[in-house]
A = this chain, B = another copy of it.
Amino acid sequence: MSLKIYRVNMSEAKVSVEDVKEEYLALGGRGLTSQIIGDEVDPNCHPLGANNKLVIAPGLLSGTMAPSSGRLSVGTKSPLTGGIKESNAGGLAAQKLAKLGIKAIIIEGQPKEDKFYTLKVTKDGIKFEDTSSELLGKGNYEVMEKLLVEGGKKACVMSIGQAGEYKLEAASIAVSDPEGRPTRHCGRGGTGAVMGSKGIKAIVIDETDAPGVLVKDEEKFRGAARRFTKNLLNHPVCGEGLPQYGTAVLVNILNEAGGLPTKNFRTGRFDGAESISGETLAETITERKGNTAHSCHPGCVMRCSQIYNDKEGNYLTGGFEYETIWGFGANSEVDDLDAIATMDRICDDIGVDTIEMAVTIGVAMEAGIIEFGDAQGAINLLKEIGEGTPLGRMIGNGAGFTGKAYGLTRVPVVKNQGIPAYDPRAVKGQGVTYATSTMGADHTAGYAVTANILDVGGTVDPLKKEGQVELSRNLQIATAAVDSTGLCLFVAFAILDDAEALPNVVEMLNAQYGLELSVGDVTELGKSILKVERKFNEKAGFTKKDDRLPEFFKEEFAPHNVTFDISDEDLDEVYNF
């Protein structure tokens, strides 16, 4: 059975099925969502209007036995940045969509009435249901529980919380994890607001009796997959660091490096770092009988997720990432892991990006709405988002918005998207990525922490400007390609260090699709995706002036007393390919 594209028109409440165009055949994940957005969406449309689209696509390898290949991409014109957006998440959706033979779902139009529908995706196609009365105003935890009781525990739910209903610019789309919880999110850029603007509260994906993924050369695939699994398990980050401590292992590392933004990006070291470190996190989880090495989808060997219980040993949250802990922690001067876990839980439930919210809480503290260090104040602010109060809407619209409401200049955003967890002055390769990524400030878009801090894929001094543009460029290209495969970006640690890893990925792709790709083609794919995205942004009115960090990064940053000194001319060289 050949793969299909489903087109859901919300203006006419109509679903149609299309064959996959020739030129989309070798695309998946981000490559496919960005290409469809580029082909079909007017870059000047209102992101919350009928002319924007929401494209959902599993990666090329999703649904196969390739390890850690369950990433789902969502593409749209971002209400947060005004540019193109691809936001990807783990959870169960990608694998199930792939097994159902779905290459992509394109959601377009807008219902005339103010209703919220649930889409049910099964082997028989996609059906609508008006679930306004049951689900409206509910958080993701309740929505998922309800729909998974109805739809069977084996289904997957993608849903929006109240933030998406309110069309807030930091609204996420939650994707259920193996326990049916909303711990995985297409977080960045307001994809949840676009889903809300389409009148969709949830999508239930049920793979019962699905045909499964067709792999042309199963034996060749299995061999490559097995070897690639070994590549991952043998790498110290993928095989040890991540399963042991999760991404929060970075708290101590970044603090040590003087690059952990503290008190709304004032200094690079946080006195309370130890209390919120990955080591403390792992200890706490173990003590409370949670799980330090949880997989967000079956077949992930890196298992960076975790189950975090409260003091009484009851489940509190999961998918508790370094960036979340950094932002609600160091950047807000909060050193209480339980409080931070509560904030994470609230964001997952209301459906807002934890990174954007973490940056926003720092800005709200800067504005004096609450004091730095006030964990309970931060919890209250986050809860207000779900209530739709003016203050809640402000916070839920992100850091740039909150900064404007209070007339602040120390507002860490690029293209209006909050800057995450690695200070651009002390981890300069990240600064280049933040400034120039097509996505707005996005650490994953070109994760220079690798060579800047972890000595993965070489070493580039994080405090010097030399080599950062090249480092960021290469990583941005590689990332765009990896984001198309459905593989978790963390496989990049192995790919950067182990020369055998990438050829194994290429062999899996070739075996699955009957292609004859070379390693060089992967780079070309990455470049072509970035070009499509950049062209969209240019048509939407972006110029090189949008590829800049906020003015205040010219201030000196302790402990290394560094500034962001990479010139505008150098930044403009990132996309010189």
Contacts and interface: CB of A to CB of B under 8 A. Distances in A.
A546 interface: yes
A46 B169 contact: no
Contacts of A193: 407
B539 A545 contact: yes
B393 A44 contact: no
A397 B405 contact: yes
A19 to B, nearest CB: 31
Interface string A166-201: 111100000000000000000000000100110000
B550 A46 contact: yes
Given A49-B551, A390-B394, A551-B49, A404 B169 contact: yes
Contacts of A211: none
B407 A197 contact: yes
Interface string A556-572: 00000000000000000
Contacts of A51: 551
Give the most central of A196, A394, A548: most B CB within 10 Å: A394
Interface residues of A, number: 40
Nearest to A548: B44
B551 A545 contact: no
A391 interface: yes
Contacts of A408: 48
Interface string A459-498: 0000000000000000000000000000000000000000
Interface of A: 43-46, 48-49, 51, 79, 166-169, 193, 196-197, 389-391, 393-394, 397, 401, 404-409, 539-546, 548, 550-552
15 contacts: A44-B548, A49-B409, A166-B407, A193-B407, A389-B390, A390-B390, A390-B405, A393-B394, A393-B406, A397-B404, A397-B405, A401-B401, A401-B404, A401-B405, A541-B545
User: 9 closest pairs, A vs B, by CB?
Assistant: A167-B407, A541-B545, A390-B391, A390-B390, A49-B409, A393-B405, A46-B409, A541-B543, A46-B551
